Amino acid sequence: MGIEDDDGNDTGALFQIEEPVAPMRKTTVPGRGIGIDLGTTHSLVAVAPCGEAPRTLGDADGRALLPSVVSYIGETPDVGWDARAAQLSAPTRVVSSVKRFMGRGTADIEFQHPYRIAALGDGAADVVRLEVGQGRVVTPMEVSARILEVLAARAEEALGETPTGAVITVPAYFDEAQRQATKDAGRIAGLTVYRLLAEPTAAALAYGLDKGGQGLFAVYDLGGGTFDISVLRLRDGVFQVLATGGDSALGGDDFDRAVGEHLLREAGVHTPTVLQREQARVAARDAKETLSTAETVSVQWEGGPALTLTRGQLNAVIGPIAERTAAPCRGALKDAGVRARDLDGVVLVGGSTRTPLVRNLVESIFRRKPLSDIDPDQVVAYGAAIVADELSGYAREGATLLDVAPLSLGLETMGGIVEKIIPRNAAIPIAARQVFTNYSEKQTGMMIHVVQGERELADDCRSLARFDLSGIPRLPPSMARIEITFELDADALLTVTARELMTGVKQTVEVKPTYGLSDEDVDALVIESLDNADEDFARRNLAEARVELGRVVLAVSAALTEVGDVEGILVAEDRAAIVSALADGEAAMAPTGPTEHHEIVAVRERLEHVSEAFARRRMERALLAGMEGMSLSEVENTIAADDTLDAKRGSHEAEQIEKI
């Protein structure tokens, strides 16, 4: 399987790695995997032992939902309902919605929150750390780990045994850093993380939508603080996330605040204190939830008057907020290239989709009744449990799951041009490989610069890692064969390997991104690339033309110096023509040179043309002297001994990596 680049060239061999159906761990026991929905507002754990129907596991009071809230008021952290109740009294020492901080750097935290962020130490990785009182400082990964520990303990009690591994769900748009942070949280909690799973995929699995073998689905997830819309395609039993969208600052909390304000007005409180506002918000949340099944509800908070709220009043307040989910839905359909009527189903996820007004809205957006048989709070955990059961070794008939790479991954090549190795939205896991070559024979090393983003030039993309491949032999320009492999695993975590094929010199780097790319960044990067597509394309073309010209100028002038005046290889009039074309070439490369790519191409073509006979005679002589009886292609094959390599041919012969 190959990926076509813009000019329709095959940019390199690309092969798919097998989906890791079961991790090869000796401790794995079928039926002892657990699925965890690590939510912004609530988290849950579910099991589906050996193909049983999935079920969530409750606490001692039978409550399946665990508020994703950790209190650091006492000596030991407290997780869940009591922590949530304590939030009013000590908002800075009780951490909620920690998912928003996962994988973020200090500069990315632009949303409102009540916490003090600890200063970055010298040389410390840019990981947000929250000050939670009494000198205690915690990372978001640790806070999440406390939540995971409580859920794992629940599972251990219910199963009567230690779980062998967990599947943890993440939003489909989570980037490398956010996924890595989630995995780290699992490890801190002492869990073996089988894999991460996209939340919408989990929900679709819970509905058994994979059973049909084919289909197109939308998953509408309105939680406490976030709204996510995803479009999935199921083909030959394989799920693929076609598009994602949403609003990371829109959810049931916004309903609560708006209803709280309404209640305060009803109560005649025009300048509420902070406490009154909080009391009204909490009362509003309870009232809102009750109104999903009741028509009216009475409301009162400590020191406040007795009020009533009807469903009609609720709808009037929250309607305009809920409407804001419509535009991202249409956007996601458009991105996926499908129309609402092409869908085979719409799945409801998230506590806020219990609200009748939201259900009606979803029905009108997608012009069909959404699937709502499974509790929208539990559906993601169910899907995770099914996959965890499978990964624990229980052989279930069913789907292989695919997620997509949220942004393109590539390398910086000569001239600062990005060569995309794994395109955005490629189904993962995936491995892609491409062969590069050297630019000059002085080169004994290459700098490998890995970037993420949609733009054509490396400067405009996000830098993920730099490393050197050193100790490669000196070879004539374009003769070295450097094979670069990108492996993106099922969790969308990247490993890059660079290997010089002749010597086998090899360098492998696990790309540990610096924490800190927000989903707004991801959106912005994608939008930016669309906005700049034409201009980028022209700049890329120009940069490419310059690189090609530079390579030819370098090769020809080196050859001229080398042959000196050896008769029979270079006749006088050829030499004069070549020297003049070389001068033109050098002038064209200067900053004052032409800025249109076709002008540069013309200069290069003339240089190639006038030096063609010279190059041929020189090559023949080299062959006769060094490797008698071998054709040029045989020479090349000897050098590139690996028959699986697939270098670019033609005028794109191979890309060059910046020399060091």
In the set 9, 92, 192, 292, which binds ligand ADP (CB under 6 A)? 292
Q: Is the Cβ of residue 304 or residue 356 nearer to ligand ADP in the bound state?
A: 356
171 in contact with ligand ADP (CB under 6 A): no
Q: Does 199 participate in catalysis according to the annotation?
A: yes
Interatomic CA distance for residues 24 and 165, integer angstroms: 12
Smallest distance from ligand ADP to CB 292, Å: 3
What residues from 367 to 396 belong to the interface with ligand ADP (CB under 6 A)?
377
In the set 87, 352, 392, 656, which binds ligand ADP (CB under 6 A)? 352
In the set 33, 39, 186, 429, which binds Mg ion (CB under 5 A)? 39
Interatomic CA distance for residues 15 and 422, integer angstroms: 11
Q: Which of 108, 142, 199, 487 is catalytic?
A: 199
Query: Is the dihedral angle over the CA atoms 372, 225, 244, 166 positive or is it negative?
Result: negative
101 vs 77, 106, 380, 492, CA distance in Å?
18, 9, 21, 19
Q: Which of 108, 142, 176, 221 is catalytic?
A: 221
49 in contact with Mg ion (CB under 5 A): no
In the set 54, 351, 406, 594, which binds ligand ADP (CB under 6 A)? 351
Smallest distance from Mg ion to CB 223, Å: 4
Q: Does 565 participate in catalysis according to the annotation?
A: no
351 in contact with Mg ion (CB under 5 A): no
Closest C-alpha to 491, from 235, 198, 147: 198
Phi first, then psi: what are they for 193, rounded to 5°? Answer: -90, 105
Smallest distance from Mg ion to CB 591, Å: 54
Q: Does 78 participate in catalysis according to the annotation?
A: no
Q: Is the Cβ of residue 39 or residue 260 nearer to Mg ion in the bound state?
A: 39
What is the residue whose two structure tokens read 């094979």? Answer: 483
Residue pair 379/350 in contact (Cβ under 8 Å)? The answer is: no
In the set 260, 350, 410, 429, which binds ligand ADP (CB under 6 A)? 350
What is the residue whose two structure tokens read 């769900």? Answer: 169
Partner interacting with residue 377 (select from Mg ion, ligand ADP, none; CB below 5-8 Å by kind): ligand ADP
260 in contact with Mg ion (CB under 5 A): no
In the set 223, 328, 429, 453, which binds ligand ADP (CB under 6 A)? 223
Total interface residues for ligand ADP by CB under 6 A: 21
For residue 78, the cross-strand partners are 71
Rg of the chain, C-alpha, whole Å: 30
Peptide bond into 594 cis (omega under 30): no
> Which structure tokens are listed for 517?
């790319």
Partner interacting with residue 182 (select from ligand ADP, Mg ion, none; CB below 5-8 Å by kind): none
Task: Return all residues near 647 (Cβ < 8 A) that are at least 6 apart.
Answer: 435, 437, 481, 640, 653, 654
Specify the amino acid at residue 118: A
Q: Which stretch binds ligand ADP (CB under 6 A): 120-128, 220-228, 311-319, 504-512?
A: 220-228
Return the residue nearest ligand ADP (CB atom). 252
Smallest distance from ligand ADP to CB 225, Å: 6
Specify the amino acid at residue 393: G
Interatomic CA distance for residues 272 and 279, integer angstroms: 10
In the set 14, 31, 36, 40, which binds ligand ADP (CB under 6 A)? 40
Phi first, then psi: what are they for 624, rounded to 5°? Answer: -60, -45
Q: Decide the pairing of beta strands 445-452 and 409-413.
A: antiparallel
Interatomic CA distance for residues 434 and 421, integer angstroms: 7
Q: Cβ of 598: how many Cβ atoms within 10 Å?
A: 10
What does the binding site for ligand ADP look like in residue numbers (CB under 6 A)? 39-42, 223-226, 251-253, 285, 288-289, 292, 350-352, 354-355, 377
What does the binding site for Mg ion look like in residue numbers (CB under 5 A)? 39, 223
Q: Catalytic residues, which ones?
A: 37, 99, 199, 221
